[in-house]
Amino acid sequence: MAITEFLLFILTATLGGMFLCGANDFITIFVAPECFSLCSYLLSGYTKKDVRSNEATMKYLLMGGASSSILVHAFSWLYGSSGGEIELQEIVNGLINTQMYNSPGISIALIFITVGIGFKLSPAPSHQWTPDVYEGVRFVRSIPTSLSISEMFGFFKTPWTCGREMLSPLGPRHNFDLFK
């Protein structure tokens, strides 16, 4: 795989994360993480000739598909309980108007959303697949190193200049002279 394809997948995953930040309806909440996840699946299979990489990609793909199906099932519970709304504010209004907010269907939907997002993020109860994927994928091992180097250089530049600019209007009143 060429560097252009690698960068395309990285940028598409970033785009999915950016869309998720501004999501306020079920379609965007589902499609944006899937955009991120699909690029992650493709990047985990970056080394096609390695058997462990192929196994890790398959486990990652199957667990991602299972968590996506659980998430869509939860969204369908909320969609039906709210009266056919897909925007988050309209769902809340629909649940309040129909007084369905205490129903067992909403509890089931919230449990399914928690499980679906939990398998995507892999916290403690649903993390069994994560070590296999990290062990089989070669480039994931280099990500913490590159992040720590960039954080080290970013630490010395960003907080002090941003802190001084943010606190400069308060400086004369509160004597923040250490930022000069």
pLDDT tens track for 106-164 = 889 989 988 888 888 877 776 777 777 777 777 654 454 444 444 445 444 444 444 44
Assign 3-class secondary structure to 96-131: HHCCCCCCHHHHHHHHHHHHHHHHHHCCHHHCCCHH
Task: Indicate the domain borders of the chain.
Answer: 3-137
* pTM for the structure as a whole: 0.69
Give the pLDDT of residue 51.
Answer: 84
pLDDT tens track for 51-99 = 888 888 888 889 889 999 999 999 999 888 888 888 888 888 888 887 7
Residue tagged 């996840």 (tokens): 37
Is there a contact between 66 and 117 (Cβ–Cβ < 8 Å)? Answer: no
